[in-house]
A and B are shown apart, each in its own frame.
Chain A
Amino acid sequence: MMNRGDEYLNSNPRILKTRPNVAHMTKTSISRRQFVKLSAFTSTGLVLGFSLTGFPAAAMSPAGDCDFFQPNAFLRIDKSGLVTILVGRQEMGQGVNISLPMIVAEELEVDFQKIKTDIAPFGSLKEGAHDTGGSQSVTGGWDELRQAGATARTMLVSAAAKRWGVDENLCKAEKGIVVHTVSGNSLSYGDLACEAAALPVPPVVALKDGKDYKLIGKNQYKKSLKEVLTGKAKYGIDLKVPGMLYAVAERCPVLGGSLESLDDSETLAVPGVVKVVRYTGTGIPMNVRPGVAVIATDIWAAMKGRRLLKIKWNEGAQNTESTEQLFKTFAATAKKQPKQVVHTAGDTAKTKAPASRTLTATYSAPFLAHAQMEPINCIAEVKGDRCEFWGGLQLPDWAVSTIATECSIPKANIKVNLALMGGAFGRRLQFDFAIEAVKIAQQADKPVKVIWDRMDDIRFDNYRPANYHRLQAKWDTAGNLQSWEHHVLTTSIARMVEGPEAKDLSEMLGGAHKDFWYAVPNVKTSYTPVDFNLQRGWLRGVEPVVNVFAVECFIDEIAQKLKKDPLQYRLSLLEGREPFKAYWDKTVEPARLAGVLKLAAEKIGWTQKRAANRFVGIAGHMFFCDSYAAHAIEIEMTGPKKFKILKIVATIDCGLVVNPDGMKNQMEGGTVFGLGQALRNEITVENSRVVQDGYYTYELARYKDVPQIEVYAVPSEAKPGGAGEVGVATISPALCNALAAAGRRPHALPIKNEGFEWL
């Protein structure tokens, strides 16, 4: 296990804390305070000496090489003139393979239609630079990628000026050509590649002024679009390695159990089955379950062989848990003293109000599975103490260092081939499947592709935690909110990944931490973890999605009780409030939150007269990727608990928008992702086993569920924030608030459990 400091872990976003280089941090004894200070300037590793060139020091600049010019790891200009922009972050549908190259290309001054983009090979960047999560790719790469493009452009201009013997200030670069503005002479980047490569890399270069952007802010479409549409795009599951075998595995149904006995005689008789292997589980961070894998020459033989395994599991002591009991425990525990107080302002204990000026409410939401369309898979090959694997991983560096430890393979001997992902949503932040594939491949003399079927995927996921909230508000006789208390209870992710000593504070992000955005004089938020024997992990927008639901329903419920307009009530607690520090380097700007709420309200026609059976709801939030979003929804009631969604408006303020169509796609997708959680998604557990077994029982949002969705951005020149997760959290509370306006407020997701039906 890596030595990772708790204080650090609990004071940083998940994407930072999960990085393997944390180990370096503790070893080099950088204090938490120093780190937090440093991390304010970067999310890609300046802290660790990761230079802006993105190169590990040893691979620095191939100066003098005359085949191509590559001043940093993010781009390469061949002598032929071909420009390739390399993408460090992993593509899983969120569009980084277009938005990140746009940033480089903007500064590089190339014709975007003519350039190529590719995955930056694992190892070509410093540790952590491939990490993909927390909506950090654009916001974290913004400075570094502009710098990468500008550095190359500057060097190409210098090379041209040098050749011509002219002042480089009289030369300019555009569309892959350097022009001498006096003589009109021009040279292409390809012509200049070798001379540029011979120049020293300038430490500081000038970046373009935002008003001169030609590419950023204009719709660009994935270069891989045609490949996707013709079936040629290769996802991890499509990769083939010579001599490869296939494997499927039967895993211990209860976390913490072990294999008691195995009879594989019938399996081994299946034509095509090569071998049956057992493998042990692991503890934190990934909690791999022990299993039995069937290795065969084709996948069907492996699947058939698996059905014939006769296995007896020792389920361990914790094999009787259920979500039914868990929610009872939540409800009972919520009224008790919390395990820890997270954020206080003023003193809620001193705020006195009679029952008539007090409101208490509870909200809850279930475990959720990721259910990305591409089932979990990984190819691994182990030869002696060397290992190579192929697959989609959101945190490949951490995967490598963990595999090195768990499988006793020297880290330097592990080669990773990153693959395009058919969705991830946080599932591939966890790399349990990669550890498992290596454990299986260690027992085979050929590469093995391990494929999880959909039942495996739903039954052995790392689930978004089940959660429960108890909130209490008090107001004075004039109706001014005086006190806000929020007790959050979840089956903690931090404890799953870090162990029982974890401090869990990341579970409070999204309005239950110091980021609570409403101006209330007395605030207390607190946290209690509840143990439960099931893997937990990060799911798209996880902590904010958990907490924003409660915060944005409760504020609405208070407004309703006070007979105030829910939008105006929110605005009265936001407008005029100064920006304030939340956690890490994050500042909450209440005015920006008010901005997205107002835009959403305007676009849904908040104040317009509507038919008696039509209602609107609204909700907004700030997400830790420096973005704000809101949803407004209009519904039509067709029965006491029956409704039709007429329209959804999603608004965002993520600062400067790099690729408007990509942002829109993410907001549409985020909305549908959140709508699925409001209406349908639910994982339940009986006898410490997940009940759902596939898409028939773990229901996703479907085509007919989705009404017209309109997306609007608040125009902004602020540094770009993230857009991948911010659009998920507010659709559930907006819908519940609309239903409350219609007379019945749901308090638990998915709302089908409270008898709601939709058309």
Chain B
Amino acid sequence: MKQSYTLVVNGHSHTVEAEPDMPLLWVLRDFLQLTGTKFGCGVASCGACTVLVNGEATRSCIVQMQNTAGLRITTIEGLSPDGSHPVQKAWEEVSVPQCGYCQAGQMMTLAGLLHQHKKPTEEQISTAMDGVLCRCGTYQRIREAAMKAVEAMNK
């Protein structure tokens, strides 16, 4: 049975009616029209749906609505109002995307890492980014952009 859930997304409070087991991903995409968060696999294997939950990079395809009480969620649309977050700026500077479909997940993963560790090591970056797939193969540019973003965050 559908239930009412109130969640804070990108600083705004929303109340939605959803099944308790409905993944947050589909609520974001189809109820709140925040389609920047992408469906890639539905089983946490690709990272395309990554959002920040209380600052931590989380795969929204496996977060059920019944577990979202009190969570603060940030999607790519809320990472910055205008694409000015250091991660987005680094991605722009390096011109990372090809098709771009996975890039919200890539950027949110790095943003989550940067929330945890202001100055992550290369190894920490590799471990975080290794879990996010890009079929176009932009990994080399992701690496370059990630280094730039870390640098910008620590200026």
Selected contact of A422 from candidates B19, B23, B101, B139, CB within 8 Å: B101
Instruction: List the B side residues contacting A92 at CB < 8 Å.
Output: 99
Is the CB–CB distance between B36 and A703 below 8 Å? no
Given A696-B45, A706-B137; A451-B99 close (CB under 8 Å): no
User: With an 8 A cutoff between CB atoms, is B1 at the interface?
Assistant: yes
* A496-511 to B contact mask, C-beta < 8 Å, 1/0: 0000000000000000
Instruction: List the B side residues contacting A671 at CB < 8 Å.
Output: 137
Is the CB–CB distance between B37 and A665 below 8 Å? no
* A246-285 to B contact mask, C-beta < 8 Å, 1/0: 1000000000000000000000000110000000000000
Is the CB–CB distance between A238 and B35 below 8 Å? yes
Binding stretch for chain B, among A184-192, A229-237, A436-444: A229-237
Selected contact of A237 from candidates B39, B77, B99, CB within 8 Å: B39
User: With an 8 A cutoff between CB atoms, is A301 at the interface?
Assistant: yes
Instruction: List the A side residues contacting B133 at CB < 8 Å.
Output: 373, 695, 700, 702
* Nearest chain B CB to A669 CB, angstrom units: 4
Instruction: List the A side residues contacting B23 at CB < 8 Å.
Output: 300
Selected contact of B77 from candidates A232, A271, A373, A669, CB within 8 Å: A232
Binding stretch for chain B, among A59-67, A117-125, A220-228, A311-319: A220-228
Is the CB–CB distance between A221 and B35 below 8 Å? no
Given A373-B40, A373-B135, A703-B126; A229-B103 close (CB under 8 Å): yes
Number of B interface residues in the complex (CB < 8 A): 60
Given A93-B136, A672-B139, A700-B135; A422-B100 close (CB under 8 Å): yes
User: With an 8 A cutoff between CB atoms, is B88 at the interface?
Assistant: yes
C-alpha gap A373/B23 in the complex (Å): 19
C-alpha gap A611/B100 in the complex (Å): 40
C-alpha gap A471/B135 in the complex (Å): 32
C-alpha gap A675/B135 in the complex (Å): 12
Selected contact of B98 from candidates A94, A240, A371, A701, CB within 8 Å: A94
Selected contact of B138 from candidates A235, A304, A668, CB within 8 Å: A668
Binding stretch for chain A, among B89-97, B111-119, B147-155: B89-97
Is the CB–CB distance between A454 and B140 below 8 Å? no
Most buried by A among B38, B134, B140: B140
* B99-112 to A contact mask, C-beta < 8 Å, 1/0: 11111100100000
User: With an 8 A cutoff between CB atoms, is A757 at the interface?
Assistant: no
C-alpha gap A234/B100 in the complex (Å): 11
Q: Which residue of A lies closest to B95 (CB)?
A: A221
C-alpha gap A705/B133 in the complex (Å): 11
Q: Which residue of B lies closest to A244 (CB)?
A: B30
C-alpha gap A670/B138 in the complex (Å): 10
Q: Which residue of B lies closest to A370 (CB)?
A: B135
Is the CB–CB distance between B141 and A230 below 8 Å? no
Selected contact of A231 from candidates B35, B99, B137, CB within 8 Å: B35
Q: Which residue of B lies closest to A226 (CB)?
A: B83
Is the CB–CB distance between A298 and B38 below 8 Å? no
User: With an 8 A cutoff between CB atoms, is A374 at the interface?
Assistant: yes
Is the CB–CB distance between A229 and B88 below 8 Å? yes
Instruction: List the A side residues contacting B77 at CB < 8 Å.
Output: 230-232
Is the CB–CB distance between A422 and B82 below 8 Å? no
Is the CB–CB distance between A422 and B99 below 8 Å? yes
Restricting to A185-222, which residues have a CB under 8 Å from any CB of B? 221-222
Is the CB–CB distance between A230 and B76 below 8 Å? yes
* Nearest chain B CB to A572 CB, angstrom units: 33
Selected contact of A669 from candidates B100, B130, B136, CB within 8 Å: B136
Instruction: List the A side residues contacting B33 at CB < 8 Å.
Output: 240
User: With an 8 A cutoff between CB atoms, is A521 at the interface?
Assistant: no
Q: Which residue of A lies closest to B45 (CB)?
A: A695
Restricting to A618-648, which residues have a CB under 8 Å from any CB of B? none
Given A300-B26, A669-B136; A696-B43 close (CB under 8 Å): yes
Restricting to B39-54, which residues have a CB under 8 Å from any CB of A? 39-43, 45-46, 48
Most buried by B among A234, A425, A668, A705: A668
Most buried by B among A230, A233, A666, A705: A230
User: With an 8 A cutoff between CB atoms, is A361 at the interface?
Assistant: no
C-alpha gap A425/B136 in the complex (Å): 9
Is the CB–CB distance between A669 and B137 below 8 Å? yes
Is the CB–CB distance between B101 and A425 below 8 Å? no
Given A700-B133, A706-B139; A230-B101 close (CB under 8 Å): no
* Nearest chain B CB to A180 CB, angstrom units: 39
Q: Which residue of A lies closest to B142 (CB)?
A: A703
C-alpha gap A92/B97 in the complex (Å): 11
C-alpha gap A271/B1 in the complex (Å): 7
User: With an 8 A cutoff between CB atoms, is B2 at the interface?
Assistant: yes
User: With an 8 A cutoff between CB atoms, is A453 at the interface?
Assistant: yes
Is the CB–CB distance between B39 and A372 below 8 Å? no
Is the CB–CB distance between A694 and B22 below 8 Å? no
Q: Which residue of A lies closest to B82 (CB)?
A: A230
Selected contact of B26 from candidates A221, A238, A298, A661, CB within 8 Å: A298
Q: Which residue of A lies closest to B35 (CB)?
A: A238
Instruction: List the A side residues contacting B130 at CB < 8 Å.
Output: 702-704
Selected contact of A228 from candidates B39, B41, B97, B135, CB within 8 Å: B97
Is the CB–CB distance between A373 and B92 below 8 Å? no
Selected contact of B97 from candidates A222, A304, A709, CB within 8 Å: A222
* A654-681 to B contact mask, C-beta < 8 Å, 1/0: 0000000100011011111101100000
User: With an 8 A cutoff between CB atoms, is B34 at the interface?
Assistant: yes
C-alpha gap A668/B22 in the complex (Å): 38
User: With an 8 A cutoff between CB atoms, is B129 at the interface?
Assistant: yes
Selected contact of B132 from candidates A234, A238, A703, CB within 8 Å: A703
Is the CB–CB distance between B134 and A694 below 8 Å? no
Instruction: List the A side residues contacting B134 at CB < 8 Å.
Output: 373, 703
Is the CB–CB distance between A226 and B45 below 8 Å? no
Is the CB–CB distance between B40 and A230 below 8 Å? no
Is the CB–CB distance between A301 and B88 below 8 Å? no
User: With an 8 A cutoff between CB atoms, is B72 at the interface?
Assistant: no
Instruction: List the B side residues contacting A237 at CB < 8 Å.
Output: 35, 38-39
Instruction: List the B side residues contacting A703 at CB < 8 Å.
Output: 126, 129-130, 132, 134, 139, 142-143
User: With an 8 A cutoff between CB atoms, is A95 at the interface?
Assistant: yes
Is the CB–CB distance between B100 and A228 below 8 Å? yes
Selected contact of A225 from candidates B31, B35, B97, CB within 8 Å: B97
Q: Which residue of A lies closest to B18 (CB)?
A: A300
Instruction: List the B side residues contacting A226 at CB < 8 Å.
Output: 83, 92
Q: Which residue of B lies closest to A696 (CB)?
A: B45
Is the CB–CB distance between B135 and A372 below 8 Å? yes
C-alpha gap A666/B132 in the complex (Å): 20
Is the CB–CB distance between A299 and B35 below 8 Å? no
User: With an 8 A cutoff between CB atoms, is B58 at the interface?
Assistant: no
User: With an 8 A cutoff between CB atoms, is A183 at the interface?
Assistant: no
Is the CB–CB distance between A374 and B99 below 8 Å? yes
Instruction: List the B side residues contacting A396 at CB < 8 Å.
Output: none
* Nearest chain A CB to B14 CB, angstrom units: 16
Is the CB–CB distance between A93 and B100 below 8 Å? yes
Restricting to B63-96, which residues have a CB under 8 Å from any CB of A? 75-77, 79-80, 82-83, 88, 91-92, 95
Is the CB–CB distance between A423 and B136 below 8 Å? yes
User: With an 8 A cutoff between CB atoms, is A375 at the interface?
Assistant: yes
C-alpha gap A140/B99 in the complex (Å): 21
22 A-B interface contacts by CB (under 8 A): A93-B98, A93-B101, A222-B95, A225-B97, A229-B88, A230-B76, A230-B77, A232-B77, A235-B101, A271-B2, A298-B22, A298-B26, A373-B133, A422-B100, A423-B99, A669-B136, A694-B41, A695-B45, A696-B45, A701-B137, A703-B139, A704-B130
3 closest A-B pairs by beta carbon, nearest first, are A231-B36, A672-B137, A93-B99
**Interface residues in chain A, defined as those with a beta carbon under 8 Å from any beta carbon in chain B:** 92-95, 221-222, 224-226, 228-235, 237-238, 240, 246, 271-272, 298-301, 304, 371-375, 421-425, 451, 453-454, 661, 665-666, 668-673, 675-676, 694-696, 700-706, 708-709
**Interface residues in chain B, defined as those with a beta carbon under 8 Å from any beta carbon in chain A:** 1-2, 18-19, 21-23, 26, 29-31, 33-43, 45-46, 48, 75-77, 79-80, 82-83, 88, 91-92, 95, 97-104, 107, 126, 129-130, 132-143
Name 4 extra pairs, CB < 8 A, besides A93-B98, A222-B95, A695-B46: A225-B97, A229-B103, A272-B19, A696-B43
